[in-house]
Amino acid sequence: ETQTEEGMVKILAKLLFVNGSKKRKLTDLGSPPERGDAGRQVILRFAGADGGWCDMRFDRKKQGDEFEQAVLEATSFKGMSSSAAKKSKAAEEAESQQLWEEKVRAAVGRTPCQRFTNPFPMGFNGLAEAPGQVSKLVVEMCVAWEAADRRRYQGHKETTASLEAERDEDQRIRKQAENDQLQVDAKLCKAEASCASLQKTNDFLNKEIALLKKSLAECARAEQTEHVRFLEKEVAALRQQMKEGFKKKKGGVDVIPPALEGNMARAIAELEAGPLLHCPAKDRPALKKKMLLKWHPDKQPSPGHAELAKRVMQELQNLSDWMS
């Protein structure tokens, strides 16, 4: 609503007073004062939430100049006249228009490799200031935007198709892996069952082998004992025969009949070689050495004993137990 008042205008502490009544704060002034009516008119345009303007008219131009100077002194527009402000505003608008033009062209130039970004701020009304040039830029912007969206959609479509193909391939591989795993599990179960069966068979065979070894050892001991007993009987019988007079004197030396002497030497050799069967392989050489030393002809007390020892040595070396 427009109000018209006549009276005295003053500026005190950056406040505008008309007829002693406070009207507006000069700190809310949005631009330098504007002049009109041959300098007698001063227009104050306020910014902020309230906005609005005040039109001051004076009788003389000098009064308008003084009021304008007082307003400039009380605001941030100090030292700036209305004509300079107009020129500054025009230059600022031109610079702003050039800046937005450069931003639009830069945005259009980036669209081949990047997503298009609107360079205009929200609510920008450039069409009213430069219709022809800005309209052309807007058309270029729309064309570039459409091309960018088309490329983006095509790229999205290709990416989606590729991802779907990869998903299908992954599902196929996963299903194949699951089937392979099932087959491996089945084979593993079968192998475990077979291993368990083989283990039972192996345990049974080991027990049977142990029993057979035990039986063989018992049989060997029994046979050896029986053979030793037989040899002992043979030796005893031969000794008895020797005692009963199967000796003949020949040159003062006791002579044993050759047949009896051969049987006795063989029996003694078998009796002496008996322990070799139960002797460990590493101890056999030492035991043989002791036996050879025992029956060495040179170690005998008489020629008759030497002859018997010689035959025993021959029989020992002919035995299979001695050669093994």
What's the pLDDT band for 191 if we cut at 50, 70, 90? very high
In a domain, 91, yes or no: no
In a domain, 273, yes or no: yes
In a domain, 306, yes or no: yes
In a domain, 45, yes or no: yes
In a domain, 254, yes or no: yes
* Residue that finishes a domain, picked among 28, 53, 80: 80
- Contact 66/44 with Cβ under 8 angstroms? no
* Residue that finishes a domain, picked among 80, 102, 120: 80
pLDDT of residue 111: 59
Model confidence over 27-58: pLDDT tens digits?
Answer: 888 788 888 877 788 888 887 666 677 888 88
Choice between 59 and 111, residue whose per-residue pLDDT is larger: 59
Our count of domains for the chain comes to 2
Model confidence over 144-160: pLDDT tens digits?
Answer: 776 777 788 788 889 99
What residues make up the domain containing 263?
245-323
Model confidence over 217-268: pLDDT tens digits?
Answer: 777 777 667 766 777 777 777 667 666 654 444 444 455 555 555 677 888 8
* Residue that finishes a domain, picked among 61, 80, 99: 80
pLDDT of residue 244: 61
Choice between 14 and 321, residue whose per-residue pLDDT is larger: 14
In a domain, 316, yes or no: yes
In a domain, 175, yes or no: no
The secondary structure of 118-177 as a DSSP string is --SPTT---TTT-HHHHHHHHHHHHHHHHHHHHHHHHHHHHHHHHHHHHHHHHHHHHHHH
pLDDT of residue 259: 53
What the block records as the tokens of 55 is 């039109």
In a domain, 63, yes or no: yes
Model confidence over 91-106: pLDDT tens digits?
Answer: 655 666 666 667 667 7
Please give the Cα distance from 52 to 16 (Å, whole number).
Answer: 14
Residue identified by tokens 């906005």 is 51
